[in-house]
Amino acid sequence: MKEIKVLGTGCTKCKNTVAVIEKVAAEKNIAINLEKVEDPAQIMTYAVMSTPAVVVDGEVVHKGSVPSTDDVAAFL
Amino acid sequence: MFKVFTDFADWLVFGVFNLSAQTKLGDALHFFVEDVSKIFVLLVVMIYVIALLRASLNIEAVRDYLAGKHRGIGYVLGSSFGVITPFCSCSSIPVFLGFTSAGIPVGITMAFLITSPLINEVAILLLMSLLGWKFTLIYIFIGMTIGILGGFFLDSIKAERWLKSFAAKALQQGQQAQNDNKNSKHKKDVSLQKLTMKERHQFAKNEAKDIFLRVWKWVFIGVGLGAALHGFVPDGWLQQHLGAGQWWSVPAAVLLGIPLYSNATGVIPVMESLLNNGLPIGTTLAFCMSTVAASFPEFILLKQVMQWRLLAVFFVMLLVAFTLVGWVFNFLTPYL
């Protein structure tokens, strides 16, 4: 089970990011534990300055935009 | 170069809709079609080209560059980077914290954050094509001045006292780390991302789509407002009733701008139509800058890192600055 976190302060792009990840995970039948992180103090600990960002198992794999389905497939 | 849009509007309004140029409706609609088509094409082309050029400039590079700069030059640099850095208001908190935890003083960070929404490259080009270079220079000058002086002011009242505690702690640790670095004479390399042409194209395409989807409705509103004023409000009415003679029209315009929220690119068509219909330049600037830089969404975002006190100081400062800009320009207009 992959631990996935979407970092973002609650804008539309962050919601879209969550939706893309859920969609791709469902299509590929991958079990994930998806969490949305909106607390700025927590986001800061990942040293990310452009949101939305995606963290997989504690590692920042994407930041600054809504990932494409290909992007998501690559890091899932 | 822009004649093609006039021809297009001629064809659509007078040809297809069969309206006469002599009627108010025909005149207003012609204005609307010509301006909307022109702005849409300009926007998409300009956003794409600019994004292509600045795809490799990222916020991390800006932060590393600003860290450890002397305060005086820091405000100017912070504000300048605010102009050229791609920025979305939903990123303002991560950016604020990123800068802060690198030990950059609050004033420099805020110089960046104030200027960033007010001025961007797309807005500059759109301003130049719609309102001319003179007005564009004035706009850039004011935007940067507000950022620079605002940053300076926030530092001089020691605004960092009123950060939320976790942000204040991050700032302290950052400054500590900076001092350690200075002693060891170790300098961090500031490097830009290397991108292939294809990645640049992808980035630029996304940017064009993103920004266009965000601002098209503002273009409609702005130009629609302009068309309505153009066709139905008698020439000189605005000037007479909301002109430079009425001192209260500037603060009123600033207050009116707070609940409205748009980015700089979207507000420019509004600016064009207000100016063309005789609203004084100062009042127009005050209204538009308030719409762009002081808004409730921004307020709520900044609340996450600032205590009420700082938030209140910050907003009052912006409102006072915009009002002063409005008054000064209304006063100076006859001499320009």
Half-sphere exposure in the Cβ direction for B66 (13 Å, CA): 35
Q: Provide the β-strand partners of residue A35.
A: A5
B158-183 pLDDT per residue, tens? 988 898 888 888 888 888 887 776 65
- Look at residue B241 and tell me if it is in a domain: yes
We report the CATH number of the domain holding residue A6 as 3.40.30.10
| Residue B258 within any structural domain of the chain | yes
Asked whether the beta carbons of B264 and B123 are under 8 A apart, the reply is yes
Closest residue on chain A to B85 (Cα):
A50
Percent of chain B's residues with pLDDT above 90: 15
- Tell me the pLDDT band of B186, cut-offs 50, 70 and 90: very low
Contacts of A47 in chain B (CB under 8 A): 98, 101
> Looking at the 3D structure of chain A, how many domains does it have?
1
Range B63-85 average pLDDT: 85
The residue among A58, A10, A34 whose CA lies nearest residue B93 is A10
Residue B117 belongs to domain spanning: 55-194+233-335
User: What are the chain B neighbours of A14 within 8 Å (beta carbons)?
Assistant: 90
User: Which residue matches tokens 């093609």?
Assistant: B4
Torsion sign (Cα): B214, B310, B255, B324? negative
Residue B135 lies in a domain: yes
Residue B103 domain flag? yes
Contact state of B90 with A44 under an 8 Å Cβ cutoff? no
> What ipTM does this complex have?
0.76
DSSP summary character for residue A56: E
Q: What's the confidence (pLDDT) of residue B76?
A: 92
Burial class of residue A76, CB neighbours in 10 A (0-12, 13-18, 19+): middle
Using CB atoms, which residue from B60, B88, B97 is nearest to A40?
Answer: B97
Of B190 and B227, the one with more pLDDT? B227
More confident residue, B216 or B181: B216
Nearest-CB residue to B63 (from A10, A49, A64): A49
Q: Are the Cβ atoms of A13 and B88 closer than 8 angstroms?
A: yes
B254 in a domain, yes or no? yes
- Whether residue B210 is contained in a domain is answered as no
Look at residue B87 in the predicted model and tell me its pLDDT: 64
Domain that holds residue A59: 2-75
pLDDT of residue B151: 93
Please state the domain count of chain B: 1
**Has residue B221 been placed in a domain?**
no
Q: Tell me the C-alpha distance between A47 and B178, whole Å.
A: 16
B90–A40: do the CB atoms touch at under 8 Å?
Answer: no
